[in-house]
Amino acid sequence: MKKQSEQPISTVADLLLHAYTIEREASDRYLLLGDQMSAHNNPVIADLFYRLATIEGRHADEIKSRMQGMAIPERKPWTFQWLTPESPEAADITEAHYLMKPYHALKLALMGEEQAHRFFSAVAEHSRDPELRRLAEEFAGEELSHIEMVEKLLAEHPEPGPDWDYDADPPAVVD
Ligand code: ZN
């Protein structure tokens, strides 16, 4: 079996496959976080995640239509060229806290968007094919606009005080 490093992204079709996977997983993850937040009575954050899920989902659909008619390479999940264990844009769900404030949710989102940006930038930097580089730069640019969007929202939702997770009525723990 070939090692990951022996299968770098070298075609536009392969980059589209990676990009599609990134956006799809990011969207699914945001949806899941949204559901979690609404289950925990945090509708503001839930809406925020649903909005992000819609944006990433739309992006995934766009990429899918670009892949139409192309010979898309087959990759086993473990051969994707991620820089991180999971696909780069999937917000880290282990960080989600049921009392988290918009600030924390946005920080999670920012991390995902920054990782996606780093991923596409790295592909652009390492590719010799001009068309591949152009496309990777385009995707990196889109992630940059997501980063700016999240940063704008972060400016409206500053870091809460240190007792943000104080719960006067915590969920019952059964031992
Ligand atoms: Zn994004």
CATH number at residue 102: 1.20.1260.10
CA of 130 from ligand 1 middle (Å) equals 23
Residue 2 inside a domain? The answer is no
Residue 7 inside a domain? The answer is no
Q: What is the mean pLDDT of residues 25-43?
A: 84
pLDDT at residue 163 in the model: 72
Residue 26 inside a domain? The answer is yes
pLDDT bracket for residue 93 (50, 70, 90): low
Residue 173 inside a domain? The answer is no
Residue 165 inside a domain? The answer is no
Residue 25 inside a domain? The answer is yes
Its pTM stands at 0.77
Question: Number of folded domains in the chain?
Answer: 1
pLDDT at residue 175 in the model: 58
Phi-psi group of 69: left, alpha or beta (phi > 0 → left; psi -120 to 50 → alpha; rest → beta):
left
Give which of 18, 48, 15 is closest to 33, Cα–Cα.
48
CA of 80 from ligand 1 middle (Å) equals 18
CA of 113 from ligand 1 middle (Å) equals 5
Mean pLDDT (the chain) is 82
Containing structural domain, residue 134: 12-156
Residue 163 inside a domain? The answer is no
Summarize pLDDT for 94-143 with one digit per residue, the tens: 656 666 777 887 888 888 889 899 999 999 998 889 999 999 999 999 99
CA of 31 from ligand 1 middle (Å) equals 14
